[in-house]
Amino acid sequence: MDWKQLLASTTRSVDEELRLRNAYLAVENRILRHQITGRVQLTDAERKTLAEIGQKLGKKALEEVATIAQPETILAWHRTRITPTGDSAPPRKSVGRPRIDPVVEALVVRMARENRSWGYDRLVGALHNLGYTVSDQTVGNSASTSLRATCGNRCCLRCVLRNSRYRVVNSHVFTFVRSRTW
């Protein structure tokens, strides 16, 4: 027997054995899948493994073999979980919305200290005139944390009395004048 024929017959027998093993495993998986009720909970590592193999198999082969999830789902796992750069992408430093620029925050704090009678909306308008776009909630968060650090409270009693002294006097005068005119 020639070595090429021997190699071809060995390859055919190995291929046939692999096909039979795959067919057996596919039937066994289907039988076990029918015995399980409900969803199979997969970990991220299991999803990643299935996604890698599923990508190599392709959609047509997955339609024949996949029983745990739809082929589109497995391919979507590959698109979302396996990035082109691999696992070398840096993890996020913090969760949530990113903080505002420290320069803008310092400007908000400075304007809030210098103009204590201004409200958040007026501060937002002044910042908008300077070319900065921030919300009133952001101004409130920045101003209240800095004022709380300097004064102990957002508005301690001393600040309330100092800021509203003229309003209280004016409201009493207005009430007195108003009551005399009636």
Q: What is the DSSP letter of 92?
A: P
Please report the pLDDT score of residue 9 as a whole number. Answer: 75
Residues recorded for the chain: 182
Please tell me which residue, 66 or 180, carries the higher pLDDT value.
66
Please report the pLDDT score of residue 151 as a whole number. Answer: 54
Would the pLDDT of 178 be above 70? no
For the stretch 15-61, pLDDT in tens is 888 888 888 887 888 788 788 888 888 888 888 888 888 888 888 88
Exposed / middle / buried, residue 17 (Cβ in 10 Å: 0-12, 13-18, 19+) = exposed
For the stretch 141-164, pLDDT in tens is 887 766 555 554 445 555 555 555
Name the phi and psi angles at 116, rounded to 5: -65, -20
Q: What is the DSSP letter of 96?
A: S
pTM value? 0.38
- Report the percentage of the chain scoring pLDDT > 90: 9
- Domain residues of the chain, as ranges? 3-85, 102-181
